[in-house]
Amino acid sequence: MFGLKVPTPVGWLPVIMGDFDAFLLDHAANERKASAMAMHLVSHYPDRTELVREMVDLACEELEHFRLVHRVIEARGLRLAPDTRDAYVRALQQQCRKGSKVYFLDRLLVAGIVEARGCERFGLVADALPAGELKELYVDFTRSEARHHGLFARLARVYFDEAVVATRTGELLEVEAEVMVALPLRPALH
């Protein structure tokens, strides 16, 4: 899917379904961070008009996702938990090279890869959930993540040469596969 080198390990889904409350809390945090990340790009690259327009839309959409997940959390009588470090996202962000041009490219590509993995995993969750509102919600999240992956891939090609984008995407996807496979299985998106 989207060039991801390795599918999510089969052991991941049972861990999620075995503690769906914990997964929801982590998922909510991911949506909030995705929204903040989009606005961070806006503040970092204010002169890139197309990027700014797309990231403002994305920030709103991810915040809406946060609102939807938080509603489920509230309905279950749960409460948001303090932030924990996301070793997966951190490891990928550490791959962003120094130097303003390559750093920008890497940030776009890493964001797109995180969306791609999110899409794959929300799809697994959507398939596993029984018919109902929650399943529909995860079907929608899966579609959104697919779109977001496409958005970052397109933005990378707006600002960079197609061949450069393809080469670097391949390199980052290799790293992503290594990082993802090494993650401990826990009731969390990553």
Q: Which is nearer to Fe ion, 47 or 83 (CB)?
A: 83
SS3 of residue 3 by DSSP = coil
Q: Which is nearer to Fe ion, 102 or 140 (CB)?
A: 140
**Helices 133-159 and 49-75, interaxial angle, to 10°?**
160
With contact defined as beta carbons under 8 Å apart, do 38 and 62 qualify?
yes
Q: Is 121 in the site for Fe ion (CB under 5 A)?
A: no
Q: Classify residue 160 by its DSSP letter.
A: S
Give least dist CB 163 to Fe ion, A.
26
Choosing from 32, 117, 148, 190, the residue that interacts with Fe ion (CB under 5 A) is 148
Give least dist CB 114 to Fe ion, A.
8
Q: Which is nearer to Fe ion, 60 or 181 (CB)?
A: 60
SS3 of residue 183 by DSSP = coil
Residue type, 187: P
- Of residues 37-96, which lie at the interface with Fe ion (CB under 5 A)? 62, 65
Q: Which is nearer to Fe ion, 63 or 164 (CB)?
A: 63
Enumerate long-range contacts of 51-54, CB under 8 Å, 24 or more apart.
51/155, 51/158, 51/159, 54/151, 54/155
> For binding to Fe ion (CB under 5 A), which residues are involved?
31, 62, 65, 115, 145, 148
